């Protein structure tokens, strides 16, 4: 590994992770509850029944509390690209900045305009216009997520760009390839569907508390009915997008898939580890082994091969195969990628040197390589590997990725079961008499948030050490600033975020205790 200030890298990553994970406490609820509000208000407009207006206004109040803090943390997050990650912003600002600019100009503007009508337009505009504003607020918030996730998806699977050797930066070549990047589209769908699940759990969890307290019964039961249907539908859709995610990860980020499953040695008919307890770090020797290095595991035969490639006998590479290579499967080693990356970097260095001394013939010959598709595919695509000397430095934190992934899946399964039981008991009109399911529903609320945070940990930790897959490692993206300044701002952010979170929870609890009859009008 080249010489970098590891302390600066770690603190910059920690600060960004702190802001991102805190920001994501608020975003999923915003994405999901806006559509829930649009649905309940539609029912109100169609039926004219006042209880549906009461339901809409109550949940709208809780949404407003959540939305305000989410916006503030999102702004801080985007500023960090310029302050802490300026090298990254320079290298791919032409590509990464485009979707973020569209998000601000189109989606966020749309959301901000109509949210004012949604909150303050009751009895001031017609029912139809107010309902339209609510739907457009929901659409705007989700369009905002689209552009952000397009940018993130590009980082995971960079497409639609060309390298400009004159400026040593990536430039957008095909906007539509970036927008319709399969990784980005699937990530967007998976994220918003899971956000709808969290919003549904938020609604049913609070409603379950009302039923336990035997208050606001009508609002609680109707909210549970709508939210459970909403949540069940998107739980099923989240599973389908999760299946597609596995294929996308297997194709563009095989090391992440290996980390998610704790797969150290690849195999055909690869089993899926449903539950496992890891036993330390693997031995990365040359001798093959089928040991998953786990003390306890429950696995489903063939399922990983099926999920990754839709074939039960497909070979799924493990950490060992990716680091050391596997000639039988056509997998080149990380050392080979490092060597090819060094060749690509040398060409860039020689090009700049030839240009500086006015050697036009050499400059032209070297420039031609950056326009040669075969050379780009075989050498430049591994440019980021040139920052490493030891192939083992390119392995992510496997245990964190593994446990985060399985925690997300198990929490999702629990939540799916809760929705099914709730709908069954609502159908039987027995929900109020089953206190156990009401308590299990309340428990699902923190699990839903934990699943959301775990999902992002998998997505970001699983691709380390890359900030842009195969092209730019995290260490090369960091701004050249004083480590102490990052440490100080990290501490300040932590204190401010903690204070804001405590304040929001207190405000939320106060509003929930007031209930629909007092707090939602």
Query: Total domain count for the chain?
Result: 1
Question: Mind listing the pLDDT tens digit for each residue in 314-330?
Answer: 999 999 999 999 999 99
> What distance in Å separates the CA atoms of residue 386 and residue 212, rounded to the nearest whole number?
60
Residue 458 in any domain: the answer is yes
In total, the chain counts a number of residues equal to: 521
**Distance, first Cα to last Cα, the chain:** 60
In a domain, 104, yes or no: yes
pLDDT, average across residues 221-243: 93
- Specify if 443 maps to a domain: yes
**Residue whose pair of structure tokens reads 């809760």 in the numeric block:** 418
DSSP string of 247-302, one letter each residue? HHHHHH-HHHHHHHHT--S-BTTPPEEEEEEE-SPPP--SS------EEEEEEETT
pLDDT of residue 472: 93
Following DSSP, what letter does each residue of 114-138 receive, concatenated? Answer: HHHHHHH-TTTS-HHHHHHHHHHHH
CA–CA separation, 124 and 127 (whole Å):
9
Is 199 within the bounds of a domain? yes
In-domain check, residue 349: no
Across 194-200, average pLDDT: 96
Q: What's residue 280's pLDDT?
A: 62
**Does pTM surpass 0.75?**
yes
Residue 396 has pLDDT above 90, yes or no: yes
Residues 6+ away with beta carbon under 8 Å from 93: 169
Residue 215 belongs to domain spanning:
6-253+396-519
Q: Domain for residue 364, yes or no?
A: no
Q: Among the residues of 370-473, which ranges form H helices?
A: 373-378, 398-427, 435-461
pLDDT at 293 over 70: no
Q: What is the reported pLDDT for 2?
A: 57
Least confident of 4-18, 279-293, 370-384, 397-411: 279-293
Question: Residue 156 domain-assigned?
Answer: yes
Within-domain flag for 221: yes
């Amino acid at each position: 590994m080249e010489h970098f200030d590891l302390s600066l890298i770690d603190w910059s990553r920690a600060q960004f992770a702190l802001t991102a994970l805190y920001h994501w406490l608020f975003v999923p609820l915003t994405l999901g509850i806006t559509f829930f509000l649009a649905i309940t208000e539609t029912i109100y407009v169609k039926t004219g029944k006042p209880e549906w207006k009461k339901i809409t206004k109550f949940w709208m109040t809780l949404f407003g509390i959540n939305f305000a803090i989410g916006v503030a943390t999102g702004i801080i997050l985007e500023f960090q690209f310029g302050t802490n990650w300026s090298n990254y912003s320079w290298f791919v600002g032409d590509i990464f900045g485009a979707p973020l600019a569209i998000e601000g100009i189109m989606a966020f503007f749309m959301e901000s305009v109509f949210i004012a009508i949604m909150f303050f337009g009751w009895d001031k505009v017609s029912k139809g216009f107010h309902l339209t504003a609510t739907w457009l607020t929901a659409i705007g918030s989700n369009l905002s997520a689209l552009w952000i996730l397009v940018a993130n998806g590009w980082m995971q699977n960079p497409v639609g760009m060309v390298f400009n050797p004159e400026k040593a930066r990536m430039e957008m070549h095909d906007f539509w390839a970036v927008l319709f990047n399969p990784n980005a589209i699937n990530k967007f769908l998976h994220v918003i569907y899971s956000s709808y699940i969290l919003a549904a759990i938020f609604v049913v969890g609070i409603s379950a508390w009302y039923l336990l307290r035997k208050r606001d019964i009508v609002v609680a039961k109707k909210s549970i009915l709508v939210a459970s249907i909403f949540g069940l539908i998107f739980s099923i859709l989240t599973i389908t997008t999760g299946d597609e995610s596995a294929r996308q990860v297997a194709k563009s980020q095989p090391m992440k898939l290996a980390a998610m499953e704790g797969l150290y040695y690849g195999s055909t008919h690869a089993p899926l580890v449903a539950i496992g307890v890891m036993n330390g770090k693997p031995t990365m020797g040359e001798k093959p082994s089928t040991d998953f290095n786990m003390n306890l595991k429950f696995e489903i035969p063939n399922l990983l091969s099926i999920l990754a490639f839709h074939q039960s006998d497909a070979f799924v590479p493990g950490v060992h195969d990716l680091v050391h290579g596997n000639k039988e499967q056509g997998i080149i080693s990380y050392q080979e990628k490092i060597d090819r990356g060094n060749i690509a970097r040398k060409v860039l260095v020689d090009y700049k040197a030839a240009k500086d001394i006015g050697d036009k013939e050499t400059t032209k010959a070297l420039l031609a390589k950056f326009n040669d598709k075969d050379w780009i595919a075989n050498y430049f695509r591994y440019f980021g590997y040139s920052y490493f000397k030891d192939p083992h430095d390119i392995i992510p934190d496997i245990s964190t990725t593994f446990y985060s992934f399985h925690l997300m899946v198990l929490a999702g399964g629990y939540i799916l079961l809760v929705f099914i039981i709730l709908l069954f008991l609502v159908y039987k009109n027995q929900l109020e008499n089953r206190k156990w399911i009401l308590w299990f529903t309340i428990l699902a609320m923190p699990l839903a948030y934990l699943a959301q945070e775990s999902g992002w940990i998998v997505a970001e930790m699983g691709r380390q050490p890359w900030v842009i897959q195969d092209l730019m490692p995290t260490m090369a993206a960091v701004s050249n600033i004083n480590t102490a300044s990052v440490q100080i701002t990290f501490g300040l952010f932590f204190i401010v975020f903690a204070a804001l979170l405590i304040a929001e929870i207190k405000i939320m609890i106060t509003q929930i205790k007031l209930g629909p009859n007092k707090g939602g009008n």
